[in-house]
Structures are given as C-alpha cells and as structure tokens.
Amino acid sequence: MTQPTTVESYRILVLDDEDEFHQVVRQSLASFGNSVTIDYAPDADKASLLLSERLYDLALLDVYGKDDLHIGLEVYRRIDAADLSTRVILMTRYQLKEDALKLLKLTGSASAWRLGGFLDKTDNLGATLSIRVGELIQKFVRRRASAHGLTELASEIARQRYRYKGLDGKVNLRKSKDEIATEVDRLLRALFVDIPGSRRRESEVIIELTPMERRGLSAAVVVNADVRVAFANIPAAGSGHRTVLKVGPKYDIFDEAARFHEYVRYGVELSHRVELLAVTAADALGGLVYSFAGGTYNHDLVALDEVLVEDLASGDETTSSEALRSLFARKDWYGTPCAPMDIGSYFSATFKTDLQRSCREAERQLQEIEKAWTTWPKVQRYDLPRGVSAYLGTPSGGNLALPDVSILGWGRLLYQAPACLVHGDMHGGNVLLECSRVLETDGSADGRTYHRSSLIDFRNSGPGPRCIDVVCLESSIRLADATLIRDACPPDIDVNPSPTDQANVIDIMEQRFIDEKALYRAVFLGVGEVPANGWARQCALVLESMKECFGEVPLREYIATSVRYAVRSLGFRLDPVSRLRMTMWLAAQYSLALELPKSSP
C-alpha cells in the first residue's frame, strides 16, 4: 500500500497594495498554523500570475488599488473568465458610492456562487477575518481525506497534460505535478467527504486509489477507489466500498454526467448500467464516481483491456469471451431505433476530431518510425495513385497501400447507416468486469471467475450508427494484440531495434494484414475461415454477436464506420508497434473497400 497523501493547507491569495494589511491578515490567521498558506500580490498582474501557477481556495481582493484602480474587480473578472474554483471575498476601506452598482451586478450574475461576501477594512478587520475566514479554514480541515495513490494518479494525469484545453483553446492544466495533486485532492474532498447541507461527524475518510489498465484514447484517467470511513472508537471497515473514480478535463466530465442522466439514469433499460454517485470540478479537472454496489466487496474490478491481454497471452479466452458476448446478449438500448444518419457527420459531431488532421498525423508518425528503425518499414511516397498516401514495403517484397484523406469523401464510404441508441465509446477501457480470483491450495491466484460486465463513460451516448460500439471493441482487441507483439520484442524495440527485430515485426504485421482480410471475408461474406489465432477469434465473436443483435449487417456499412475510427485512432499518440498494428487494420479495410462495387450494400 502506498503512503497516504493529505493536502491539509487551505490556500489564500491576498490582493492588496498595503503592507500593513498583509500584517493584519498574518496576525489574524496565525492561530491556524500550517493549516493555511497565504500568498500576497500587490497588483492585478501579480495576482493573475499566481492564479495561473497555483490553485487557491479563497481570494481576498481589495476593490481599490493605487490611483483608484478597480484592481479587485479586475482580478475577479479574470478568475471568472478562467472558470477557476476559487471563492472570493471583496474588501475596501473606502465608500463604494457608484461602484456599489457593479458589486450588485456581480451578486446577480452567473458567477455569484464564488462571491463569498464583502469586508469593510475599517470595521475591526482583524477580528472579522479571524471569524469569517477562520470558519472556512476549520471546515476545510474537517473535510480531510487520506488518499493512498494520489501522487501516482497526479503523475498519470500530468502525462496527458497536452490534451487539456480550456474554452480559449489553451492548455489550462498546470505543469507542476504537486499542483495537479492539490487539484485532485480538492476533487476527492468534494466527491467522497462533503455532505451538502449538513455537518459531517468526526470521522476520517480513507481512499485507496489503485491503477486500472486501460488503452482508450481519452485524456481522462480511471482508477479503482476503495473508500472506508473510520471513527475515533470504531475501526475502519475491512474493504470499504469499491467505486471507480474518473478524473479528466472538467468540461468532458460534465458532458459525461449529463449524458448519463439523459440516457442511463432516466433513459432506457440497460443491463450493464452502474450508478453515478457524484460529480464535481476544480480548475482544469473534473471528477466523477461510479458505484458498483451489489457484490463487489470481495471481487476485483478490472478493465476488459487488461483481461484481453491476459487471455490472449494464456490462450484461454474464456473470461473475455463471456464478457464480450454479454454486451450484446440483450438489446437494451440497441432496441431503440433512431433515424438513419450520415456516418461522417456523426464522427464530426460526436468525437469532435478532425479526421484529415488525424490522417496527416498518422503519416507523420509513420515517417518517424521509418527514421528510428532505419531498416523496416520502407515507406514509399512517389508515383502514388489517387487515394493512396503511401506504400508500406515489407521484407517479403510486398507493398501495402495506405489510404489518404480523400477516402473520407469517397463514394463507397459515404453511407447513411441505420442508427439506434449506442454507448458511443465502448472500447475495452470502458467495459469493467467484476471478477473473483480462482485460488490454488497454496493461496496463489490461478485465473478469474467472471461475474458480470458494467459500462462507464457515457459522454458519447445517444443516437449513433449501430456498428460504432462493435468497432470500438474491435479496436481494443487489436491494441491488446499489439501489446503481446511488443512484449515479445526486446525492451528497446521502440527506440533502438536491431534490423532483425525490425524485420520480424514487419513480417508479423504483413501476416496481420492478410488475416484481417480473411477475418472479414469469413464473417461478412461467408468465404473461407476465421484465422486460427486469439485476436481473430475474439474479433469474430464480437462481429457475430453484432449480427445476432441486429441481423445481417453489410460489410460496407461496417467499413464505413471502422475506417473512420481507425483513422481517428492513428491521430493519437501510440507506441510504434501499436501504430503499425492499427495501420494494418486500416490498410486491410481500405483494400477490402476497393473490392466493393459502388452499388454494393
């Protein structure tokens, strides 16, 4: 177990250009010791700089500065524009007169929740600060939570920092891992400790955060969160309540919570549903908690991604097969038809991804692999026919055609697909399996017993093309296959592979291209057999489950969805082996699409 992390310091930013006032604040709050941290700013620019670098729970803002400047109101507007979680108390020693109207407008605005009051600096300010701000500090200390694994969670979030965009398009997640940990601490307090409208009893909340292996494309991080409550005379419960915590860009988190309410909590019946316990946000981050109450106290919660890798490695695919079948065993919301929709328009509106940019990024990353590996792959970019961005040369002398962006507007892929309610992002990281370990007589674990599957992350839930959930799962199976290929290579395969290792990987990829086409021909056209390897069997199982759920699905409809998803996937950061594996998936689909007549179903 990791050491618990508790961020106990309540942070206050003081904006005032009078040094004597700084002394008053220090003396008034001195009794709280290390429970409070105070930073001072003499002007609006310094205050803005500090706010960009650190999270503050409270800002004490002097309305007027030198030369009668409204520095307090200016910083308030900047806090509001950045959508920070900081509460504000305004202060002045002067009569407000006409500025009273500006303050009244603030109290009636959408940001009124952050305005914590007004202080008259001439009316026994020290005592007032000690009482008003002291109450906030005491409440903060009572809301403590001991979190095991907080530092590791913050580090994982920091690795995704480049994907955290604010409303202005700028990266708004702070660089410091310590600051990210502080922001997560505030989320944990709001999600697991706060009880709205009541005073919590004297107890300690203990949260054990453990990683969950997921391979999705989301910027969010998902972890197991086991929560226990300990009182002074009562020991904490043994295993506590097992939940799943998701932390990500706060606007994405709010979107997910809204979709959950619309399509899950108050929507159609869903046998794989979970319960959304709470949702909150801080500055750049948002967090929500899913509950799996009803049997998980003695069971593991693992992502399908992790189980796929284990099953494919062992050759025993029982657990992942049961889970995959269960996802389409009942129609649930798949039985709610919607109006047919254009698949290209759906991707633009739902995933908010520029697929042309993804195509360019995929080609750029392939060039980077070619530079690093030097021997293979060989990428040819001259004398190319229309629709081809490059040929990938292989050790056997083959050339695999990689499509360019023109395929996205290509006749065979312009498709009005049948639609229904869908999850919209059902990759293996969003399918959680409740399993128990099978123990040997010596106490060692030997496999898992599968109990049920549950879904999380409903941000894309709603009307969608009926193949989209299947395509998401198929992507996860291929990434699991890539993990096994990579694990069989030397550790330096990403940066310094030998010519032999390069050739071996490309040989495997060339065979994957052949097997991909054989898989689709067997399932959709009834020609030949499914290749005899684990990843192909699992893909075939998902495709057959789809056909049992919806009836016959034309190959063209499936490819029109899967090509776009593969292009989108290649626009994200992937290790070289995973990128090559996903490229083979895309190349095989493109090759099959070329064989389809324009009038084919």
466, 337 in Cβ contact below 8 A? no
Residue 88: closest CA among 73, 102, 100: 73
What Å distances lie between residue 25 and 59, 63, 345, CA to CA?
12, 16, 57
**Which burial class, exposed, middle or buried, applies to 590 when counting CB atoms under 10 A from its CB (0-12, 13-18, 19+)?**
buried
Edge-to-edge strands, sheet with 399-403: 378-380, 388-393, 399-403
Quote the pLDDT of residue 324. Answer: 93
Mean pLDDT of 418-447: 78
Q: Tell me: the pLDDT tens digits for 57-103?
A: 999 998 877 665 778 888 998 998 888 999 999 888 765 555 555 55
How much of the chain, in percent, has pLDDT values that exceed 90?
42
> Is residue 6 helix, strand or coil?
coil
Quote the pLDDT of residue 463. Answer: 93
Between these two residues, 448 and 287, which has the higher pLDDT value? 287
Q: Tell me: the pLDDT tens digits for 16-25?
A: 988 888 888 9
User: What's the residue count for the chain?
Assistant: 601
Q: Tell me: the pLDDT tens digits for 28-38?
A: 999 999 999 99
Transcribe 11-51 into DSSP letters: EEEEE-S-HHHHHHHHHHHGGGGGGEEEEEESSHHHHHHHH
Edge-to-edge strands, sheet with 416-422: 337-342, 416-422, 462-465
- Structural domains of the chain ordered from first start: 4-142 (3.40.50.2300), 145-298 (3.30.200.20), 330-425+461-595 (no CATH)
Q: Does 450 have pLDDT greater than 90? A: no
What Å distances lie between residue 458 and 273, 498, 519, CA to CA?
10, 43, 30
Mean pLDDT of 334-353: 88
Residue 43: count other Cβ atoms within 10 Å of its Cβ.
16
Give the highest mean pLDDT range of 111-120, 140-149, 191-200.
140-149
Location of structure tokens 């692999």: 369
pLDDT classification of 411: cutoffs 50, 70, 90: low
Quote the pLDDT of residue 298. Answer: 55
**Which burial class, exposed, middle or buried, applies to 329 when counting CB atoms under 10 A from its CB (0-12, 13-18, 19+)?**
middle
Quote the pLDDT of residue 576. Answer: 92
Give the separation between CA 119 and CA 326, rounded to whole angstroms.
60
Q: Does 507 have pLDDT greater than 80? A: yes
Quote the pLDDT of residue 166. Answer: 64
* Mean pLDDT for the chain overall: 84
Location of structure tokens 């300690």: 204
Range name among 93-97, 254-258, 530-534, 589-593 with the lowest pLDDT average: 93-97
